[in-house]
Every structure is written in structure tokens, then in C-alpha cells.
Amino acid sequence: MKKPWSGRFSQKTSEALESFTESISFDRKLWKHDIAGSIAHAKMLAKQRIITSKESASIIAGLSETAEAIRRGKFRFSPELEDVHMNIESSLTDRIGDPGRKLHTARSRNDQVALDLRLYLREQMHNIIALIRKLQKTFVAMAEQHQDTVMPGYTHLQRAQPVLLAHHLLAYVEMFQRDRDRFRDCLRRTDSCPLGSCALAGTSLPTDRAYTAKLLGFSQVSGNSIDAVSDRDFALEFLSCTAISMMHLSRLAEELILWSTEEFGFLEISDRFTTGSSIMPQKKNPDVMELMRGKTGRVYGNLMALLTLMKGLPLAYNRDMQEDKLPVFDSAETLTACLSVLLKMMKGVKFNITRLKETAAGGYATATDIAEYLVRKGVPFRAAHEITGRIVLSCISRNIPLTSLSLRELRAFSPALSADVLAVLDPAASVKARSSFGGTSPSEVKRQLRHYRRLLR
Ligand code: ARG
């Protein structure tokens, strides 16, 4: 197959080079975006009378035929034509002849690939944002169901203070909100059209870059042709947003794994999203969550791969940059897959309300409530902390819960303790009392729910 750049060469390309340099095996994913870019470019060339409107129409018809062939799986992508751009251009010329050879006027594969990647990421990010939003809705719905499910909150994975399960679930809704905001922010900078920057220096032909940008739905046109073909910041930002999102999903996965153990017994993941063991008949394993946690490592690696790939590159385009697509595609697809499976899986998660409540009552989780009670009676917090610590120590040595202490026993620790202290030892009362803004009290949880119900409407 004849290369579009063969004019300057007198020897045939080595087969070893061909298989080494090709990107069609992965960048074929960009075919739709590549064709969309070419159609806009052809329209602009005609509007500017750089080609005739007849030629433009013929190019657009040819590209549409190619699109149809690819869609139907009737297109042969060939590695000798290196990449998606040359494969599509060559098929166009095969279909319509000479007008096809005019399409590449006033553009280069360098601005073309920058454009394709931006179009691809724009689409992926819109989809990811919509999926995260759905996940938030699922979590809000679960939180509504658990507005009075008390559970132990942890620090250092040691029981700390009772919280509402709704509050814990809403913590994820907040994380997801920031994830969504980050992608939206990244979209703003991805929304800049590099097409028309050509190889690096722009063109002497009378193009209208604003017109192409408008046709492709961009709100900005890149302002410096060298930067436009060299810049992959938008892809790095995307990989960073993806890595942070995956980190959140991985923490969730870890909690679901831990909480579904018999040792915790806080929840059960449905049979449909767990797997069995080939040898141990009793097993029900949270593989989906483990894979989500595991894939997070790969997504982090993708960010590091592109950062490292870019760091030593002189301006403008270098072929190294062809390697940007593999990590970008992988992170986009991995996050999308994780969000999609999680959406389905969460609907089948059943919390063990009794177990959560019992666990919240144990482990001296309401000790802070005694200390805060003493503070209300005028005891300085440091003294209150010390007194309560001694109460806890005495209970631990006798292996009894705080609730077993009689008033007489309690008063031996501090005369500031009276009968009403018993009320603060109840986990539900403890939760109810934490009504500071953003706290775990039912009233604060209701406020958060109202906020997100409105936001996600
Ligand atoms: N396949 C190339 C890439 O993905 C397209 C740009 C090639 N440009 C060049 N001058 N060789 O980066």
C-alpha cells in the first residue's frame, strides 16, 4: 500500500518498522471522532473556497460511507497505513478519487490527533459524569433508607463513635460530587479546538478555525499552534481525575469487602455479584470489589506513564506522544466499567441493621459522650477526658460495658456525674446529640439529604 508520505523516500519501509510504529491496533477507537473532525474540516475548506463545495460534498459523502462500513464491521484497518487518520483518508481516496486527496489541505496528523483525543475525552467525560451522578442517586436512596440505622464509626479501624449509616453513605456522595466537579473542570480545558494548527506553525492558506471549532461544538479555539499540537495537559488532567475517582471507589470496595466478612457482618453482597470457590464449598467471595480495588493500581500507573512520557519532550509534536492513547483509553474504560458494575451491585447490598446497632453499642464508643457531658457540667475538657478514661479502664478490667455501671459507681469517678448521664450512653442518643453543622445527627443528615435531593434532581 502506498504511503501518503512516500514521495521523499526511495527505499521501501521495513516490515519491522511497520509493526513497530503502527497505532491502528488501538487508535482505531478514534474513528468516529476522526471522521467528525474531517467532515468539519471539509466544510470549512469549502466555505473558505479552498476546495469547491462539490468536492466538499463528495468528501463528506465518502467519509459517511467509510463510517458506515466501519460501523457494520466491513472495514479493513491496515497496519501499513499506520494509524486511524491515514486509514480513513486512504479509504476516502479509494472511494472518491481526487477530491479525497484534497482533504488533508491545511491540516496535519498532529493537529488531527490532538483533536481526536479531545473529542474522545469530551465524550468519555460526559458519560463518566452521568454515571457518577447515577451512583450518587443510588447512595442517596440508600441513605434515605438508613436515617436511623446506627453503626460504629471508625478511626484507625478501631471503633470510635456511633454514627448513622446514612451519614457514612453520604460521605461517599460528597466524594462523588467532587469527582464530578473535577471532571467538569477538566472538560472546560478540554473544550478547546486544536484543528487548523497544522503540523506546528499554522498555515498560509485562508482557513477559518473558529468555524471548524463551532461545527465541532468547541467553545474555544487554541491560541498557539505550537502548544496546540504539543499539549497533553488535558489528558493528564483526565488521568488524574480518573485516578482520584478510582481511589474513592477503591476505598468503598475495601469497606464492602471488610464489612461483608463474617467478622464484621455488617452487610451482604447479593449472590449475583459474588463468586464461589472451586474447592471450598462454603465460600462467597467479593471478587468484583477486589478487582475494583486492584484495577485502581493500573489507573494510577496510567497517570504516571503519561507524566513520564511527556516530561522530556521538546516542543512540538514527537512520536512518543502516540503512546498517550493506551493509558487514556485504559483509564476511561476502566473507570466506566467500575462505575457501571458498582451501580448494579449496590442495589443488591443488604445491611444487617441489628448487627450494626449492636456493634455501635460495644467498644466503649460512647465514651466521648461522657466527656462532653462533663464539659457541659463545667469540667474542663482535659479533666473530663481523664475521668472518662479512668471509667473506661475500670470497665475494661471488669469486662463490662459502660451501661452496666450504677450511678453510685459513676459518681465515685466524678461528683459532676448525675442520673441523666445514663441517657448519653445510648448510641442513638449519642448520634442525635452530634448536631453541629455536618455532624451525624438525624437533623444534619436530613439537611444533607435535602441538599443532594435538590442537587441531583
Ligand atoms: N499516530 C500518530 C499519533 O497518534 C498521529 C500523529 C502522527 N504524526 C506524525 N508526524 N508522525 O500520535
DSSP string, 282-295: T--B-HHHHHHHHH
| Number of domains, the chain | 3
pLDDT per residue as tens digits for the range 354-379: 999 999 988 888 899 999 999 999 99
Residue 177 lies in a domain: yes
Residues 239 and 350 in one domain: yes
Q: Which residues are catalytic?
A: 156, 277
On whether both 349 and 366 belong to a single domain, the answer is no
Q: Is 55 in the pocket of ligand 1 (CB under 6 A)?
A: no
Nearest CA among 259, 251, 254, 256 for reference residue 359: 259
Distance of CA 353 to the CA centre of its chain: 30
Last residue within a domain, chosen from 357, 390, 414: 357
Q: Within a domain: residue 211? A: no
Residue span of the structural domain in which 430 resides: 360-455
The grid cell for 286 is 467479593
Q: State pTM to two decimals.
A: 0.94
Q: How far is the CA of 431 from the centre of ligand 1 (A)?
A: 59
d(CA 325, CA 102): 27
CATH of the domain at 63: 1.10.275.10
Is there an atom of ligand 1 within 6 Å of 236 CB?
no
Q: Does 215 fall in a domain?
A: no
Judge if the beta carbon of residue 87 lies within 6 A of ligand 1: no
- Partners of 285 in beta bridges: 275
How far from the centroid of its chain's Cα atoms is residue 195's Cα?
Answer: 28
29-76: pLDDT as tens digits: 999 999 999 999 999 999 999 999 999 999 999 999 999 999 999 999
Q: Is the CB of 109 under 6 A from ligand 1?
A: yes
Whether residue 275 is contained in a domain is answered as: yes
Cα(122) to ligand 1 centroid in Å equals 20
CA angle 45, 47, 50 (to 5 degrees): 40
Based on the domain organization, do 343 and 376 belong to the same domain?
Answer: no
Residue ID of nearest Cα to ligand 1 atom 4: 322
Residue 366, SS3 per DSSP: coil
- The answer to whether residue 313 sits within a structural domain is yes
In the prediction, which pLDDT does 403 show? 86
> 287 with 381, same domain?
no
Indicate which residue's Cα is closest to atom 3 of ligand 1. 322
Q: What is the best residue among 110, 111, 118, 323 to mutate for testing ligand 1's pocket, by most ligand atoms within 8 Å of CB?
A: 110
State in Å, rounded, how far the first CA of the chain is from the last one: 55
322 close to ligand 1 (CB < 6 Angstrom): yes
Q: Does one domain contain both 337 and 372?
A: no
In this structure, the answer to whether residues 251 and 394 fall within a common structural domain is no
Asked, for residue 317, whether it belongs to a domain, the answer is yes
> Which of 52, 79, 105 is the last residue before a domain boundary?
105
Q: Give the Cα separation of 257 and 274 in Å (integer).
A: 11
- 432 assigned to some structural domain: yes
Residue 299 included in any domain? yes
E strand intervals along 274-412:
350-351
State how far the Cα of 289 lies from the Cα of 296, in Å rounded to an integer. 11
Which of 53, 81, 105 is where one domain is finished? 105
pLDDT under 50: residue ranges of the chain: none
Together in a domain, 243 and 392: no
Verify that 293 and 364 share a domain, yes or no: no
Specify the amino acid at residue 25.
S
**Residue 24 cell numbers, joined:** 491502528
